[in-house]
Amino acid sequence: MTTLVQSLGDGVVIARRNLLKVKRVPDLIFFSILSPIMFVLLFGYVFGGSIEIPGMSYREFLMAGIFAQTVMFGASFTGAGLAEDIQKGVIDRFRSLPMARSAVLVGRTTSDLVNNIMVITVMSLTGLAVGWRVHSSFWSAAAGFALLMLFAYAFSWGMAIVGLLVPSPEVFSNASFMFIFPLSFLANTFARTETFPAPLRVFAEWNPVSSITQAVRELFGNTGPQPPTAWPLQHAVLASLLWIAILLAVFVPLAIRQYKRAAAR
């Protein structure tokens, strides 16, 4: 019991330290908000005209996809921060202290969750400005945001593994793009999967990002009249929760193992 309290306490100390950095260097969060806003404008007003979503406005369709992609980029801060801490020797200091082994990862994923909440708040306001509306209830919308954040948290742990594997923060940003781009574009985020060629379509239907996006659309009341055909999209909320559980069960132990190894390089 005391060890658990202590490791949570250590995690809070680390999370606070990371958030102080965000406060001191507001550019970080400014640019992580700017790029999804550009995506909203790009897809909403440039490409959107040529993407047909039967029975609904494209910009309402788009926002859930943008939200999902935004939290993935937000979660990639976890890996970037860890790679930087390793390079600067800060991790060595932490490892020579009698603190909980998991605290650096728990603290980092927690502070990045807080960042993501701030970013998604701004993105929601952006969405409202371009005509996106929630057509469901307050509680249903709240469940949608909660699901997004659970996914963001699980994805953070995956990005932690990448951040601990790469030799430097510079390599991390390229490496994380390799994951985020296919996962966020080969999905129902910006277009309907029904229009994809067969192999891509199967990938997109079983892509966890598609389940999350579909679930969030349902919870916000942003779905069109045509129901999806694939199982993970028909049962999107259930599939999302399953995906999140699987991601956490795989990523958390792998990340902790890799933390011990990376720090011992």
Q: Which is nearer to other proteins, 13 or 202 (CB)?
A: 13
25-52 burial, b at 16+ Cβ within 10 Å, e below that, comes to eeebbeebbeebbebbeebbeeebeeee
Element (H, E) at 84: helix 58-88
Structure tokens at 74: 């937000």
> What is the binding site for other proteins (CB under 8 A)?
6, 9-10, 13, 17, 20-21, 24-25, 88-90, 92-99, 103, 263-264
Q: Which is nearer to other proteins, 77 or 94 (CB)?
A: 94
Q: Which is nearer to other proteins, 98 or 225 (CB)?
A: 98
**Is the CB of residue 40 less than 8 Å from the CB of residue 126?**
yes
Q: Which is nearer to other proteins, 93 or 257 (CB)?
A: 93
Least distance (Å) between residue 80 CB and other proteins: 14
SS3 state at 156: helix
List the one residue out of 189, 202, 204, 193 whose CA is nearest residue 70.
189
Least distance (Å) between residue 234 CB and other proteins: 46
Q: Which is nearer to other proteins, 52 or 170 (CB)?
A: 170
Q: Which is nearer to other proteins, 38 or 97 (CB)?
A: 97
Least distance (Å) between residue 96 CB and other proteins: 4
Structure tokens at 18: 């990371």
Least distance (Å) between residue 232 CB and other proteins: 41
Least distance (Å) between residue 14 CB and other proteins: 8
Least distance (Å) between residue 174 CB and other proteins: 23
**Is the CB of residue 263 less than 8 Å from the CB of residue 95?**
yes
Instruction: Output 231-237 pairs: Cβ under 8 A, ≥24 positions apart.
Output: 232/205, 232/206, 233/188, 233/193, 233/205, 236/211, 236/212, 237/147
**Is the CB of residue 211 less than 8 Å from the CB of residue 232?**
yes
